[in-house]
């Protein structure tokens, strides 16, 4: 097999086992049959572009989890378990960029092993019982892997990114802190437009620092809260919509 990016292999594995809203059923183990199906999908370049943004986002979460597991308080306890050597192998491979024929079995096993430690399906937040999570200027947004309520403004929609499984949606809060999520534009063209502000429930899955030092947050599981939208009152720069005008009023 050709070498593939670890993120791509995990995302294709998630699609193969049909992850439901970020929950990985324990019954869907990473068998050799799963690996065969993953390898078949990887041979189809077009397959990668069709993956749901949720798979890409959850792949980031899983890789980040294993990449930092050896720094977590429960690391020694996990490694001491019967399947501890598999977790250690996943920790090692999560810190690499490419998957080889020698490591693909561990990468395909990552979602199931992750699900064994986080088997409980996330309950949806009640919009009537949540308050907006505020950040200080120049800070990351929210707590990693914890769904919370945010209120932000849509400032840019990019073109389709096949490595992310959707279009980039850039959001800014009142302090100009940056947040991003990737999704299919058709899901949102009748929901919000460029310049609009709105509340949503979202899960921060990655905190990144740009080359200019800006702290950025990537979200998944975006759930727009009804009746919170405030239409943009100022004229929007049409160049901030790279979807052919779908998000221009």
Burial 75-92 (b: 16+ CB within 10 A, else e): beebbeeeeeebbbbbbe
Q: What is the DSSP letter of 211?
A: T
The model scores a pTM over 0.85: no
| Per-residue pLDDT tens digits of the chain, which is 249 residues long | 667 889 889 999 998 888 876 778 776 666 668 888 888 888 875 444 567 788 888 898 899 889 989 998 999 999 999 989 999 999 999 998 889 989 999 999 999 899 888 756 667 788 888 999 888 999 999 998 889 999 999 999 999 887 777 899 999 999 999 999 998 898 899 999 999 999 999 988 889 999 999 999 999 889 999 999 999 977 889 899 999 999 998
Q: How is domain 127-240 classified at the CATH fold level?
A: OB fold (Dihydrolipoamide Acetyltransferase, E2P) (2.40.50)
Residue 111: its H or E element: helix 104-117
Which two tokens mark 120? 């409980």
Q: What is the DSSP letter of 134?
A: P
Determine the pLDDT at residue 47: 44
CA angle 52, 57, 62 (to 5 degrees): 125
The domain ranges of the chain are 4-117, 127-240
Measured in whole angstroms, how far is the alpha carbon of residue 8 from the centre of its chain? 13
Residue corresponding to tokens 């932000």: 152
Task: Tell me, rounded to whole angstroms, the distance of Cα 232 from its chain centroid.
Answer: 27
Q: For residue 221, which phi and psi values (nearest 5 degrees)?
A: 55, 50
pLDDT of residue 21: 67
Which two tokens mark 248?
Answer: 């221009």
What is the reported pLDDT for 245? 92
Are 197 and 153 in contact by the 8 Å Cβ rule? The answer is yes
User: What is the phi/psi pair of residue 45, to 5°?
Assistant: -60, -35
Quote the pLDDT of residue 46: 46
N- to C-terminal Cα separation, the chain: 48
Structure tokens at 59: 């792949």
């Amino acid at each position: 097999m050709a070498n593939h990016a670890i993120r791509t292999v995990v995302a294709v594995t998630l699609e193969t086992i049909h992850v439901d809203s970020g929950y990985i059923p324990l019954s869907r183990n990473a068998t050799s049959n799963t690996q065969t199906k993953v390898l078949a999908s990887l041979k189809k370049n077009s397959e990668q572009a069709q993956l749901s943004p949720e798979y890409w986002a959850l792949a980031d979460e899983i890789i980040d989890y294993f990449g930092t597991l050896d720094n977590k308080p429960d690391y020694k306890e996990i490694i001491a378990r019967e399947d501890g050597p598999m977790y250690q192998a996943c920790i090692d491979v999560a810190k690499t960029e490419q998957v080889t024929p020698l490591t693909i079995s561990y990468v395909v096993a990552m979602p199931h092993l992750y699900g064994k430690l986080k088997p409980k399906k996330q309950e949806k937040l009640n919009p009537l019982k949540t308050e907006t999570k505020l950040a200080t200027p120049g800070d990351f947004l929210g707590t990693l892997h914890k769904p919370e309520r945010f209120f932000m403004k849509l400032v840019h929609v990019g073109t389709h990114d096949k490595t992310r499984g959707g279009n980039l949606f850039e959001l800014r809060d009142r302090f100009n802190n940056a947040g991003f999520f990737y999704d299919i534009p058709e899901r949102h063209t009748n929901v919000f437009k460029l310049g609009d502000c709105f509340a949503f429930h979202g899960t921060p899955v990655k905190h990144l620092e740009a080359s200019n030092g800006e702290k950025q947050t990537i979200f998944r599981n975006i759930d727009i809260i009804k009746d919170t939208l405030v239409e943009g009152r100022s004229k929007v720069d049409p160049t901030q919509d790279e979807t052919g005008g779908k998000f221009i009023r």
